[in-house]
Amino acid sequence: MKKKSINYWISFVILVAMILTTSILSIIVLITKNDPNERLGSHIATILISVVLILMLNNKRINEFILTYAVIYVFIALFLGASLNLYNTVSFIHYDKFVHVYFGYTATFVGLLIMSKLTKMSEQNRLFIILFIFSFSLMTAAVWEFIEFTGDKLFDTVTQGPAFYTYDGRKIIDVGETMFDMISNTVGTIIFILQYVFLKEKAITKSMIASALK
């Protein structure tokens, strides 16, 4: 039997901790019927996604390194941000913007991996590689905002920004929040591109790419 890697155990422990914590919080909400911040949906989403990720961790065909990135994102974005409500309780430090920076960084990395799978990197011009991964990351960010917009329309939520009401009762969403999210994603994208361009030969960058391409 193959020995599990450190990435596996870190991811596994984080996922189990999220499941246990959000399960307890969900039970408390259901028993007390008190959910002032409307976190129950986030708790359930965290549980379901964590279970799926645990199943994926044990699937040998799925890259473990990429899954670790996914687990970290779920931890900081869904568990800490949504379930534990850090998006609102520590809004003064713009926690959600840090999440979007991480998302942009990760999406750019994934874009590089996709390109590595589809073509021989040694045959590609560096500028073309940069343009591809930059475009891929921004496309991913745009798709995410489309999803948020659709969710807001379907479930009457306000994930894309604060709501304002006109004198005739119409609700208007300030999309400035969405634009700042896109800018944060772009910052994460640029950080990865700078790492790829200037630190490509460094051990940490080589190790990241090699681990992801296993």
What are the pLDDT digits (tens) for 7-63? 788 899 999 999 999 999 999 989 988 877 778 888 888 999 999 999 988 877 777
Task: Write down the pLDDT at residue 203.
Answer: 67
Angle (nearest 5°) at CA 199 between 196 and 204? 95
Q: Do 78 and 126 have their domain in common? A: no
Q: Do 69 and 157 have their domain in common? A: no
* Domain final residue pick, 55, 88, 121: 88
Q: Do 99 and 141 have their domain in common? A: yes
* Domain final residue pick, 68, 88, 108: 88
pTM: 0.78
List, as one string, the DSSP characters of 149-202: HHHHHHH---TTS-EEE-TTS-EEE-THHHHHHHHHHHHHHHHHHHHHHHSTTS
Task: Write down the pLDDT at residue 103.
Answer: 92
Q: Do 14 and 120 have their domain in common? A: no
Domain limits at 10?
Answer: 1-88
The dihedrals phi and psi of 156, each to the nearest 5 degrees, come to: 60, 40
C-alpha Rg value of the chain to the nearest Å:
19
CB atoms within 10 A of CB 3: 5
Instruction: Report the Cα 44 to chain-centroid distance in Å.
Output: 17
**Strongest mean pLDDT among 27-36, 146-155, 159-168, 183-192:** 183-192
pLDDT digits (tens, 9 = 90+) for 97-113: 899 999 999 999 888 88
Q: Do 100 and 206 have their domain in common? A: yes
Q: Do 129 and 111 have their domain in common? A: yes
Task: Tally the domains of the chain.
Answer: 2
Q: Do 129 and 188 have their domain in common? A: yes
Q: Do 59 and 24 have their domain in common? A: yes
Q: Do 112 and 200 have their domain in common? A: yes
* Domain final residue pick, 57, 88, 119: 88
Task: Copy the structure tokens of residue 137.
Answer: 């990351």
